[in-house]
Structure 1
């Protein structure tokens, strides 16, 4: 019996890749690598640090309360405001941050520029009070009262000033009684009544 010849083995499929396809793959790989390097370099670059605002040539005041966030809000832009209003705006900005010394400077500047009124005088007095200068605070409260006898806070704040810092209970009681007599309908009248028996609270801000 004749031996049958085995059919020739099927040739393996060609593994050659066309030259254009190789070039396309190389280009894609190179572009992807370049993107990753660029992205990594971008992420590694240092981020800008926002510094707390301190006026040039002035050291940080010890009276500024620490903020919860390391990023402090910048001062308001007052470049388009009238000079007196600009000074008072900066004074209020510093007051709100318990930066009493700088607030005093701006309140005094505002008064020099024409914004001399009971509200400014009372806030200025509060700044002196918080700096531990009760006599100067009292002077500003009294000047505010002379400017406008109907200005409530400049009288109300004298109650706690006499009781807490000047330790003069007689004048504190007198101021409380005067406030109740002159401003019986004031929302602060009840507080003044209570302060006749208890320790006065903090001064009122305008």
Structure 2
């Protein structure tokens, strides 16, 4: 994992979590549903990453709001005692969980400018752009995250659904899926990546790989 200098540590009182969103990635014989994920802390158990498989033509359920989230009534956290970068990221996460993408983007950009520039923040920022219908900007942030930390699974995994479902670039989606399988064969999400490749192999469709 690439080390980054002067990386601010997140406040001890905060726990990271993942915010799910279903994506359908259709390849050949089946439809695979995957969660768009954020990178959580090792003790993150509130919202596990789940992969499920739906028959062709099925429609996934809409994403559920964060547990306990009340967009209209909830007050933002008190960040007055946090370092500027941590405060900005905390507010970014708070807005992210409430699907307030423009404000989340604003705070994540501030966090990056103040020194919290790492693969986690870049991936979260990319997710916000994706939800706002700006896939190219999302892809840019995922790419930066991968350059910062090649061992960052989620930024690579999120590229797969972005290529497949949003950009409809199945060749690049398959390339990203194969890359994910090769680099993270033991990941719980590796099976979802395999489902993007197996239907093409079973049907005899030539792979996009040389």
Q: TM-score, normalised by structure 2?
A: 0.60
User: Structure 1 residues 69, 172: closer, same or farther in 2, change over 3 A?
Assistant: closer
1:131 equivalent in alignment to 2:122: no
Structure 1 residue 71: Cα displacement:
5.7
RMSD: 2.1
Aligned CA distance change for structure 1 residues 150 and 132 (closer, same or farther; 3 Å): same
Q: Which has the larger share of helix?
A: 1
Is it true that 1:98 corresponds to 2:80 in the alignment?
no
8 Å CA contact 2:69–2:98 kept in 1: the answer is: no
Post-superposition CA distance 1:96-146 (Å, at most 9, x none)? 000000000000000000000000000000000000000000000000000
- Name the residue aligned to 1:107: 108
For the structure 1 residues 69 and 181, does the alpha-carbon distance in structure 2 shift closer, same or farther, using more than 3 Å as the test?
closer
Give the distance between the partners of 2:103 and 2:69, measured in 1 at CA: 21
Aligned to 1:153: 154
> 1:117 aligns to what?
118
| Contiguous gaps of at least 5 residues in structure 1 | 1-63, 199-206
| Cα displacement string for residues 78-99 of structure 1 (whole angstroms, at most 9, x for unaligned residues) | 0001000000000000000000
TM-score by length of 1: 0.61
Instruction: Tell me how far apart the structure 1 counterparts of residues 110 and 69 of structure 2 sit (CA, whole Å).
Output: 30
Give distance in 2, aligned partners of 1:85 and 1:125. 18
Q: What residue ranges of structure 2 are gaps of 5+ in the alignment?
A: 1-64, 200-210
1:82: which partner in 2?
Answer: 83
The residue that corresponds to 1:164 in the other structure is 165
Higher RCO (C-alpha 8 Å, min separation 6): 2
**Number of residue equivalences:** 134
Change (3 A) 1:85 1:186: same
- Distance in 1 separating the partners of 2:174 and 2:96: 28
The structure with the largest alpha-carbon Rg is 1
Using the TM superposition, name which of 151-160 and 67-76 deviates more: 67-76
The residue that corresponds to 1:49 in the other structure is none
Match of 1:194 in 2: 195
Residues 68, 105 of structure 1: alpha-carbon distance in 2 compared, 3 angstrom cutoff: closer
**Whole-Å Cα distance in 1 between the matches of residues 170 and 83 of structure 2?**
43
More strand by share: 2
Q: Deviations over 1:4-44 (max 9, x none)?
A: xxxxxxxxxxxxxxxxxxxxxxxxxxxxxxxxxxxxxxxxx
